[in-house]
Amino acid sequence: MKELALLANRLDTLIMRIGQITSWLIFILVLLVAGDVLFRYFFHISSIAEQEFQWHLLAAIAIFGSAYTFQQGEHVRVDLFYHSYSKNVKRWMNILIPLIIILPFSAFIIYLSTDYVLQSYVNNEVSPDPGGLPYRYLVKGLIPLGFSLIFIQGLAVLLKAITKTESEL
């Protein structure tokens, strides 16, 4: 059991570090948007590639931030009454929900999106807009990567719930 608890802590640490790195992407995005606005309104210069990059950065923030949000318990729960449940009920929810919903759904999305990304890579998909970004498969690759992180965090939640003793509830 100690090994499972240690694994859960390591997975949590990984997701926490990714969340911290993702927070810096927000700062970069704010700088890019501010720069875009300044250049557009003061110098009448605009770049399609920069605007697409902003959207790609926003996608990365949303996808990477979702696993961190899940870890911090700030995600939207379907159950509005979770906070009022007993510790034992919460423990069982933290076991069953990852097992029944989070892990299978994440694995399914990873499976489906991997072919989607590979098809984009094989076709060397680029932006349809003139002056847009090449390598469209990179932003599409965020989908299986992001759901892999959600899978990892779901596994960490499951392992922590399994390894908790009665005194920790």
Is residue 168 predicted with pLDDT exceeding 70? no
pLDDT at 78: 61
- Amino acid, single-letter form, for residue 6: L
pLDDT at 2: 85
Nearest-angstrom CA–CA distance, 134 and 111:
24
Q: What is the pLDDT of residues 36-95, one digit of tens each?
A: 999 999 998 888 999 999 999 999 999 999 999 888 876 766 666 777 888 888 888 889
Q: What is the pLDDT of residues 7-44, one digit of tens each?
A: 998 999 999 999 999 999 999 999 999 999 999 999 98
pLDDT at 167: 44
- pTM here? 0.85
pLDDT at 148: 97
Q: What is the pLDDT of residues 138-166, one digit of tens each?
A: 999 999 999 999 999 999 999 999 987 55
Whole-number percent of the chain with pLDDT over 90:
67
What average pLDDT does this structure show over 110-128?
95
Nearest-angstrom CA–CA distance, 156 and 20:
18
Following DSSP, what letter does each residue of 106-162 receive, concatenated? Answer: HHHHHHHHHHHHHHHHHTT---SSTT--S-HHHHHTHHHHHHHHHHHHHHHHHHHHH
Nearest-angstrom CA–CA distance, 114 and 106:
12
